[in-house]
Amino acid sequence: MNNLNAFFSPNRIAVIGASSNPSKIGGRRFRTLVEGDFKGEVFPVNPGVGIVQGRPAYKSLDDIPGPIDLAIIAVQAGLVPQTVSACARRHIPAVMIITAGFGEQSDKGRVLEQKMVAELATSGGRLMGPNCAGLYDRASCMNLSGMDVPPGPIGLVSQSGNVVLDMVLHARDVGTGLCRYASVGNSADVCATDVIENLLDDPATKVVVGYIEGWSNGEGRRLYDLVRNHPSRKPIVILKPGRSEEGQQATLSHTGALAGNDRVTNAAFRSAGIWRSDSPGEAVNVAAALVHYPRLSSNRVAVLTDGGGHATLLADALGGAGLSLARLEDSTTQQLVAILPERSATANPIDFAGAAEEQPDIIARTIEICSRAKNVDAVALVGHFGGYHDNGGEEIGQQEIATAKLIVNSRKPEDAPLFLQSIHANRSKPALEHIKCSGINVVRSPMELGQILNALARPLPDHQGQCASKIERQPSVEHGLIRTRGTDRALLEPEAREFLTKNGFTVPDWQVSSDPNQLAEQCAQSSFDNVALKLIQPGLAHRSDAGGVILNVNGTATIVEEAGQLLGREGNDKARDAAVMATEMIAPGIELVFGAMRDVHFGPVAMFGLGGIYAEALNDVAFHLAPLHESAAASLISEIQGASLLFGYRGGPAIDIQAAAHLLIQLGDVLMAYPEVDEIDLNPVILNEHGLAIADARVILSETAGAD
């Protein structure tokens, strides 16, 4: 279904709205297409002029003889629908609308977009856009981007043309570039995930980079499944704003796509092995590194510096990213002492202390030693190499170039990978150009280098591939679910407990009755000793706030009395619907929350965290998309900040990881199996010396399901 080949490998392209004016949108794209020596044929369409940038122009699309593979539409907004109709008539398989002013501006625009998508679909055509910035494929020499694009291994998809321009400048600085690129604009039809699928299949693309502001319907989950199941293990880097409320607002107004729960996005990316980036520069730096370098199997870095500060800043960044300074073996230190002047520090960080600026070649020798040293997984040179000659004079400049050559030429395949940070990285410095050309990354700041090393050290997700849900819908359940008597979307708690029990959860026994005497009898039969009583009534939210809970109730008489109290509280009218639920008191312990929710973009997600009053106040929770593998569920439990509380902290109880993981898997599976369930909240689940016990259960139905 996802065949975007006509977009990236067309033979015949029509550019409708092509112009000779390079300040016009249609002028810029046509200029780069022509100047880029596109291999196929190009047909400018412009009714007003005879010639466009030296090519004879057609008055209309209909005038072009023969089939067209790709149509680029850059006419004014009012003319777009009829142009799309013309494309549909001609059965053009790929149509990109550059023109803006549709779904990103109004509901009317959104409707119009859908009409155009449908019209093209009838003739088998796909639509990219509207509001696109361009298209590029190096293998086809097709540059419809309107800018110069440096060549390189990056396949790029973006919802913003400006961000692409930004990334292209960064790519030039790093010495990398693009092989394929599409701007998907409003994603009315072709969305970023479609392009990512294409890029994963594209043999020229070695790393996928995306700028995604928001998702189209179901796209988030589709990307997650795509990446986890795709046979290609290409690295993927996505710049995804929306970490803050303000960012989400802007996203809403800009692309019309909902920015989802940001922590769910993080969870999805992490378990799919997608690197989430914070800035265009970081995205390009990390992408370039993921192409040029192997993943680091261990995290010990040898840091070389011409002075002190940058090593300290890098060490700081390393620590924040879970990397460490390598401890050099004595033999390594001895080799260093032998070649370095006395003033240099030979412990890691290795500080030339001004000697490198006078005699640059000691850098090359030190790199060689460190790259072959035991305990060293990566070597980083930081400071201002490449620009020593700024202050040291021309002769030093020549020595810098010689040193760069020495560094490059002395490298062996088995050497620990080498990284450079220089404050001159973005300037034209011959020694650095030499280094960059050899595939060694050179970045401007120690923080950027820290990000790169962090990305390379991040373990690959260990559970790629499909993971099946193990829960099947219970056929006994009406509408697939117990019908709720609740007047809101929440099942009453006994209903929730029954639903969970039927689906294999271990829920502590409960009794419920609207008659206090009967309830007391049921409790006696169940050998309940010390009970909690809860008022059960449709529409009664926030039960404990409303005084609907009585704890530590002992003995038949007291149960009768207290249950009567609870029922009386609500007055005669409502009492008809009311009942009281009794459960045995659970010994105190650490309150946890186990839950599952349906994220608008990523679908079913399981959640674990500190519960009770701490759940909301501290927000110490972790997410993983369902269905969950056992090890993913287990690692979720260690992921919360307060995790140390769970493993026998100060003589307290220790969590049974297997049982907890199983509970999380079950919760995720229920949401997979029952689309009408929106959310399940087990809060608190109490961890005490007897294990885990569900003390409260809420099941929330989707808006379209459940209630009578």
Residue 200 vs 340, nearer CB to its own copies: 340
Q: Containing H/E element for 71?
A: strand 70-73
Residue 391: CB minimum distance to its own copies, A: 5
Beta strands 12-16 and 378-382, pairing class: unpaired
Residue 319: CB minimum distance to its own copies, A: 3
Beta strands 603-610 and 579-584, pairing class: unpaired
- Decide: helix, strand or coil at residue 649: helix
Residue 440: CB minimum distance to its own copies, A: 20
Residue 273: CB minimum distance to its own copies, A: 23
Residue 171: CB minimum distance to its own copies, A: 12
Looking at residue 362, its amino acid is: I
Residue 386: CB minimum distance to its own copies, A: 12
CA distance 703 to 24: 48
Residue 614 vs 623, nearer CB to its own copies: 614
Residue 100 vs 127, nearer CB to its own copies: 100
Instruction: Looking at 394-551, list the stretches that DSSP marks H as alpha helix, in order from N- to C-terminal side.
Output: 394-409, 430-437, 446-457, 493-502, 516-525
Which residues, in sequence order, are CB contacts of 226 under 8 Å at separation 6+? 193, 196, 197, 200
Query: Which of 97, 124, 125 lies closest to 113 in space, CA to CA?
Result: 97
Residue 165: CB minimum distance to its own copies, A: 6
CA distance 68 to 91: 8
Residue 461: CB minimum distance to its own copies, A: 25
Residue 165 vs 705, nearer CB to its own copies: 165
Residue 516 vs 684, nearer CB to its own copies: 684
CA distance 584 to 153: 63
Residue 278 vs 509, nearer CB to its own copies: 278
Residue 333 vs 501, nearer CB to its own copies: 333
Residue 360 vs 494, nearer CB to its own copies: 360
Q: Containing H/E element for 134?
A: none
Residue 415: CB minimum distance to its own copies, A: 23
Residue 506: CB minimum distance to its own copies, A: 26
CB 436 within 8 A of CB 174: yes
Quick count: other Cβ atoms within 10 Å of Cβ 552? 10
CA distance 530 to 552: 6
In the numeric block, the tokens 């013309």 are attached to 86
Residue 151 vs 354, nearer CB to its own copies: 354
Residue 36 vs 281, nearer CB to its own copies: 281
Q: State both tokens at 41.
A: 């044929």
CA distance 292 to 284: 12
Residue 549 pairs in a beta bridge with 534
Residue 504: CB minimum distance to its own copies, A: 32
Per-position DSSP letters for 213-279, written without gaps between them: S---TTHHHHHHHHHHH-S----EEEE---SSHHHHHHHHHHHSPPP--HHHHHHHHHHHTEEEESS
CA distance 620 to 608: 9
Residue 377: CB minimum distance to its own copies, A: 14
Query: Which of 589, 539, 529, 587 lies closest to 559 in space, CA to CA?
Result: 529
Residue 585: CB minimum distance to its own copies, A: 15
CB 70 within 8 A of CB 96: yes
CB 626 within 8 A of CB 605: yes
Residue 383: CB minimum distance to its own copies, A: 5
CA distance 571 to 579: 13
Three-state secondary structure readout of 109-120 = HHHHHHHHHHHH
CB 83 within 8 A of CB 75: yes
Per-position DSSP letters for 594-629, written without gaps between them: EEEEEETTTEEEEEEEE-THHHHHH--EEEEESS--
Residue 250 vs 657, nearer CB to its own copies: 250
DSSP at 504: T
Residue 531 pairs in a beta bridge with 553, 584
Residue 15 pairs in a beta bridge with 44, 72
Residue 375 vs 464, nearer CB to its own copies: 375
Residue 82 vs 544, nearer CB to its own copies: 544
CB 87 within 8 A of CB 122: no
Residue 303: CB minimum distance to its own copies, A: 8
Residue 357 vs 498, nearer CB to its own copies: 357
Cα 248 to chain centroid distance, Å, stands at: 15
CA distance 89 to 393: 68
290 Rama sector, left if φ>0, alpha if ψ -120 to 50, beta otherwise: alpha
CA distance 661 to 264: 18
353 Rama sector, left if φ>0, alpha if ψ -120 to 50, beta otherwise: left
Residue 133 vs 264, nearer CB to its own copies: 133
Residue 439 vs 652, nearer CB to its own copies: 652
Q: State both tokens at 603.
A: 């679908």
Residue 339: CB minimum distance to its own copies, A: 17
Residue 56: CB minimum distance to its own copies, A: 23
Residue 159 vs 484, nearer CB to its own copies: 159
Residue 260: CB minimum distance to its own copies, A: 14
CA distance 277 to 173: 18
Residue 373 vs 615, nearer CB to its own copies: 615
φ and ψ of 116, to 5 deg: -65, -40
